[in-house]
Amino acid sequence: MTEIITPGSLTLAQLRRLRHDDAPLSLDPAADAVVGRSAAAVQAVLAGGQAVYGVNTGFGKLATTRIPPDKLRELQTSLVLSHSVGVGPALAAGTVRLVAALKIASLGRGHSGVRPSVIRALAEMINRGVVPVIPAKGSVGASGDLAPLAHLSAALIGHGEAFVGGERMPAAAALRRVGLDPVALEAKEGLALLNGTQVSTALALEGLFAAEAAFAGAVVAGALSVDAAKGSDTPFDERIHAARGQRGQRDVAAVYRALMAGSQIRSSHLDCGRVQDPYCLRCMPQVMGACLDAMRYAAGIFEREANGVSDNPLVFPEQGEILSGGNFHAEPIAIAADTLALAIAEIGALAERRVAMLVDPSTNGGLPAFLVREPGLNSGFMIAHVTAAALASENKSLAHPASVDSLPTSANQEDHVSMATFAARRLGEMARNTATIVGIELMAAADGIGFHAPLETSAALRAALRALRAQVAPVERDRFLAPDLEAARELVEAGTFRRDMTAGLLPSATD
């Protein structure tokens, strides 16, 4: 099925599909009229001889330089080529597809002054399997994602490089291979293509989707850890969380209650002498609820940005005006991505503390040291916990906010920038670290529960155990564990627990 992009109406669920599916992209035909009026307004302003930034002037510090009419096409091509200065590894094909979809949605709002044929050409390039090579580094997030979007635009006009069927080649050759001609840009079109926050937003959305999977896995792993350590379910009582009133906290506590309901292990120690559990168990609703609130906030920002117009200047065809502003400044994405980074780090930090609790016989409710029979002869989860600690510490450094940094560019014309692109790009690495920690906890908690046999955990958690055991066997004696850690991480990243057990919590779960 074709993925119809209706400008201003993208949902998080559709954005997830746009990132992960390969359905052809198409701009909603209803947008053609307003897009056409916008392009006509640009031509009308040019015919009137008015100086308009980026249309018939230079760019940045050179905005006062007037460009003669016979050089306007050359101006747009020169802009794309001069801004194609990205460095680093190429963005993944799915990322590029999402960037292109976001650019199509933004241009389709009818405030960018491009012709409908340009938008259709961008969609067709992606649909025929041409993936522009977009280096990951080189954007400061204002004026938009200039360098990476220039690489996207360069491929459209037959410059730079692209992948076709996994083969990297010159973009002109890529277009020829799939039967497409390079686009000849008219006035303002190059600027509209490379000005905007689509790369930062795409990377931020990817980070959100990965964070959701890690969050869901951590909720399930935490519930398993409560049973493994013979913890109490009293801290999840609705009355406690209603008294505080924090939405995320209440929502998460309800999921924990549902996951643990009916556990034989819990019933076996209702009258034990333990008064309170460690914070890593007892405070899971408070910590994970705060993380959920942060994720929901970030999701709202990202969804609005995906539906917005973030290039400059903007065309208002009804009034026949072209206005220069600053919607390209990606500060909303930068601050939201920084907030999401804190949540990702905390999800992993709390999971690491639960792993530490489970391997320690002084805190784990009577389980053997490092969750293995014959400790001493076997080290069990001793060094797996070290890996979890290393990744949790790494995330602390990566969580340092990017948005508080700014370096002026363009001879101080662009004197405050957002650093949104890095703020968003580092989320993927952080989410993978957290997913790995959560995978380690799943393994540890599952083995801990195994020591309580024949008592069983709840039905919901038994389903989680079956999913894990299909990939990872219990650690009954020391073995080469690295592949098991990878398998557990992949289970988390695949969204197993997001789909089946915690979907109602998460921002992108439903349309």
Q: Classify 113 in phi/psi space as left (phi over 0), alpha (psi -120 to 50) or beta.
A: left
Q: Reply yes or no on whether 279 is catalytic.
A: no
Measuring CA to CA, which residue among 311, 328, 412, 402 is closest to residue 143?
328
DSSP 346-360: HHHHHHHHHHHHHH-
Q: Would you state the structure tokens that stand for residue 107, as one six-digit string?
A: 């241009």
d(CA 120, CA 238): 52
- 3-class state of residue 150 by DSSP: helix
DSSP letter, residue 69: G
Strands 314-316 and 321-323: antiparallel
Cβ atoms of residues 202 and 10 within 8 Å = no
d(CA 117, CA 292): 42
Report the residue count for the chain. Answer: 511
The catalytic position among 53, 256, 279, 297 is 53
Q: Which phi and psi angles does 276 have, rounded to 5°?
A: -140, 150
Measuring CA to CA, which residue among 442, 456, 273 is closest to residue 366?
273
d(CA 488, CA 240): 33
DSSP letter, residue 278: -
Q: What long-range pairs does 360-366 form, CB within 8 A, spacing at least 24?
A: 363/229, 363/278, 364/228, 364/229, 364/448, 365/228, 365/229, 365/230, 365/231, 365/274, 366/230
Cβ atoms of residues 202 and 99 within 8 Å = yes
Q: Which residues, 6+ apart, have CB-to-CB distance to 229 below 8 Å?
A: 277, 281, 357, 358, 363, 364, 365, 367, 448
∠ at Cα 133 (132, 139), nearest 5°?
110
Per-residue b/e over 377-387, b at no fewer than 16 CB within 10 Å?
ebbbbeebbeb
List residues with catalytic annotation: 53
